[in-house]
Amino acid sequence: MAVDLTGYSFAVEYPAATHSVLSVAADSAGVVENFLVSAGGLTPLLMQGSADEGCLWVANAIKSPTAETAPDGDGFLAEILISGPSLAGIAVTDIVLMDALGGLNDLAQPSGTRMAAHAAVNRLLLFANRPNPFFRTTTIVFHIPTATEVHLGAYDVAGRLVRTLVDGQRIVGEHRIEWDGRGADGVRLASGVDFYRLRADGFEETRRVLILH
């Protein structure tokens, strides 16, 4: 149980030869009922990266925390989706909790973590593209639980379809689509915010992408 929680960091180790990280949701936009902001704290600062292949680190903190906005108790902090054949070889390590006074509490064992077999296998998911922002190309990943017709399109800020990336039947499982930031005419889109939208089997989701030149 946390006391006056204002931030945290941890690492996730996984066998890179057989597993891959699909998404990290650890901010107030990506996590429903995020415990870190449950006491009224401002939108957290999310950082993530890879120290090396097979190791992901995540850090999160409340902006300008106070004792009143730092929550006590238990709650949901982050969701890491990893694709692979099993949970074997996946471990959460190096957990550090920070309190309102800036004190650190190293946890040797991840007693508060919970891992489960990939529930995404039973539902359709659209993940954040990587990298984002991007210069040359980015990869969009989605997962479908059954074979179905899929439409994946890139849209400008006005909501106009600028390029169709997928349009047709796709098999069960994870799909990776590489996009070079160009429209249907082969011209690269201007720097700025654009969107990609997935439609399949009654499902629809849109995510934001940032193109840089």
pLDDT one-digit tens code per residue, 47-91: 677 656 788 888 888 877 777 877 777 777 777 877 777 777 888
Residues whose CB is less than 8 angstroms from the CB of residue 103 and which lie 6 or more positions away in sequence, other chains included? none
Decide which of 1.10.3720.10, 2.40.40.20, 1.10.10.10, 2.60.40.4070 is the CATH code for 120-211: 2.60.40.4070
Evaluate whether 5-107 and 120-211 have a shared fold.
yes
> How much of the chain, in percent, has pLDDT values that exceed 90?
27
Q: Note the pLDDT tens digit of each residue in 31-57.
A: 456 667 777 777 666 667 765 678 888
Flag whether pLDDT at 118 surpasses 50. Answer: no
Residue 94, judged by CB atoms within 10 A of its CB (0-12, 13-18, 19+), counts as middle
Flag whether pLDDT at 114 surpasses 60. Answer: no
Detail the DSSP E strand segments found in the chain. 5-13, 20-25, 45-52, 55-61, 79-83, 91-99, 104-107, 125-126, 138-144, 148-155, 161-170, 173-179, 192-200, 203-211
CATH number listed for the domain at residues 5-107: 2.60.40.680
Residues whose CB is less than 8 angstroms from the CB of residue 13 and which lie 6 or more positions away in sequence, other chains included? 54, 55, 89, 90, 91, 93
Ordered alpha helix ranges (H), the chain:
none
